[in-house]
């Protein structure tokens, strides 16, 4: 069966309080997907966003962002006297700082009314929960500063377990409560999606942020100096997105240490995420084969070298340990053949992005990407422009070539965006995933992220309500359902 998915971040869901949450709006979104034959909902990482509000620079690989907690659900459980009046409900941008500041008093009020039970105590006893709660308590006490600037006893707490935690007990309890409620609310959404025939495709960044509990509590897993600062950082060399490359700033893994302890970090990290999602997409999968190692002193990503990683050993360990593991690979970019060999050895679905494969440079337009079954076809991802924005950026001659090519393929009706969506849905790929911005035909203002830039407006776009998305999915419903019957490209309604 060929399946269709929609890519939309939880933060982009319409909801009453300025950002998407795990309440009624998430359930309504699942209903809308199921009603129109969509069987995969791809989301961005759920972890607490760090630098630049990026979900790819999270504070933890395990924790969930309290931004997504539904106040309506907390009120229904009696933890709030009533659901608050809406706040920034109609905004098409997530004002992260404003929404967090507005929601926090309600979350603390809910914590004050909460009575721990055995289930809560068992959750709180997990090592990652304890470490995360202490990390966030220390972070709050230090004005949100990176752990590298904290007092020595706080920086070294994971190893020494020293110092008096009594002054931080209330905040530690609050942070534990937030994670407990997040886990409950997310699993409710996840179970509801599965009941409706929708699987969740979660995104796991290959790297973690330096200002994270992963690094603070697991320094041995990374290449750091004696004070905990990265000696080398991650990124990619100059490419399509940037002439100076992308300097992400994430610390590089100490693969020698990880091999010695059987890749415990990876088994715990991916194993926990497997409980959250049905499918895990590994962002920057190519780093399991080779990774770009940049000296931390270099201000750009121009300086660096490709280093081989023990990808086979890691993936063997994951599949041997984690039952039912389903992975997909983000395998974009200029890759050496060994990356694809690694991907295919485990029969992982890779990615084809339509915007990247449409060649408009010659006399005739063409789709230069492989048309094969075991892959995921995207019209675009969170890192590139919307279809409409991409088309608008083309030169007049390129637009003309594209329209002619679409007509020759048999897609002559509707807007260019409509025709590109129809072409994508006719592809033999087993999974076709469409960003919600593309099915809405939105211009470049709605893109989620512009690589190599930090801060607003990245990660901020959201739906004010579901009406337009409902209309758009209904228009695509016949083609989506036809894919589920394994119709060939020639049989798809045009």
| Enzyme catalytic residues | 283, 330, 383
**Inter-CA distances, 415 with 103, 411, 425, 442, Å:** 41, 10, 15, 12
**What span, in angstroms and rounded, lies between the C-alpha atoms of 364 and 373?**
25
Helix (H, G, I), strand (E, B) or coil at 67: helix
Cross-strand bridge partners of residue 232: 295
Query: Rounded CA gap, 420 and 433, in Å?
Result: 13
**Residue 418 β-bridge partners:** none
- State yes or no: cis peptide before 457, omega within 30 of 0: yes
Percentages of the chain per state (helix, strand, coil), in multiples of 5: 45, 15, 40
- Backbone dihedral angles phi then psi of residue 279, each to the nearest 5 degrees: -135, 140
Neighbours of 440 (CB within 10 A): 17
CA 378 distance to own-chain centroid: 15
- Burial label for 112, CB within 10 Å (0-12, 13-18, 19+), is exposed
Q: Which two tokens stand for residue 153?
A: 């006893």
């Amino acid at each position: 069966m060929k399946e269709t998915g929609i890519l939309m971040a939880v933060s982009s869901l319409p909801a009453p309080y300025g950002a998407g949450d795990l309440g009624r709006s998430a359930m309504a979104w699942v209903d809308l997907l199921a009603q129109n034959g969509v069987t995969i909902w791809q989301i961005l990482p759920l972890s607490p966003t760090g630098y630049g509000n990026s979900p790819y620079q999270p504070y933890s690989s395990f924790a969930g962002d309290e931004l997504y907690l539904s106040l309506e659900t907390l009120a229904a459980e009696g933890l709030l006297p009533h659901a608050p009046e809406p706040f920034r409900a109609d905004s098409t941008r997530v004002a992260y700082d404003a929404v967090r500041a507005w929601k926090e008093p309600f979350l603390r009020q809910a914590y004050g009314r909460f009575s721990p039970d055995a289930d809560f105590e068992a959750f709180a006893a997990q090592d990652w929960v304890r470490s995360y709660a202490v990390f966030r308590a220390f972070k709050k006490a230090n004005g949100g500063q990176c752990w590298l600037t904290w007092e020595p006893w706080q920086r070294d707490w994971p190893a020494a377990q020293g110092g008096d935690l009594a002054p931080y007990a209330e905040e530690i309890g609050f942070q534990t409560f937030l994670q407990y409620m997040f886990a409950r609310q997310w699993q409710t959404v996840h179970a509801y999606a599965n009941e409706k025939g929708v699987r969740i495709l979660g995104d796991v960044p290959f790297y973690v942020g330096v200002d994270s509990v992963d690094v603070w509590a697991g320094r041995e897993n990374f290449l750091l100096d004696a004070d905990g600062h990265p000696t080398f950082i991650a990124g990619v060399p100059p490419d399509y997105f940037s002439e100076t490359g992308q300097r992400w700033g994430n610390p590089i893994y100490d693969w020698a240490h990880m091999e010695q302890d059987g890749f415990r970090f990876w088994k715990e990290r991916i194993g926990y995420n497997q409980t959250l999602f049905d499918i895990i997409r590994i962002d920057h999968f190519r780093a399991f084969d080779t990774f770009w190692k940049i000296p931390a002193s270099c201000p750009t990503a121009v300086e660096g070298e490709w280093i081989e990683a023990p990808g086979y050993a890691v993936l063997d360990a994951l599949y041997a340990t984690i039952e039912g593991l389903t992975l997909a690979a983000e395998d974009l970019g200029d890759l050496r053949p060994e990356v694809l060999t690694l991907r295919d050895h485990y029969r992982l679905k890779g990615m084809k992005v339509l915007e990247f494969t449409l060649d408009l440079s010659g006399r005739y337009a063409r789709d230069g990407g492989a048309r094969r079954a075991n892959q995921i076809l995207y019209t675009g991802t969170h890192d590139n422009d919307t279809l409409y924005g991409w088309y608008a950026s083309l030169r007049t001659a390129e637009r003309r070539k594209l329209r002619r090519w679409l007509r020759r393929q048999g897609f002559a009706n509707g807007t260019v965006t409509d025709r590109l969506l129809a072409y994508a849905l006719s592809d033999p790929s087993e999974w076709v995933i469409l960003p919600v911005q593309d099915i809405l035909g939105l211009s470049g203002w709605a893109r989620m992220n512009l690589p190599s830039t930090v801060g607003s407006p990245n990660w901020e776009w959201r739906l004010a309500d579901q009406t337009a998305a409902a209309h758009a999915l209904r228009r695509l419903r016949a083609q989506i359902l036809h894919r589920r019957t394994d119709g060939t490209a020639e049989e798809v309604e045009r």
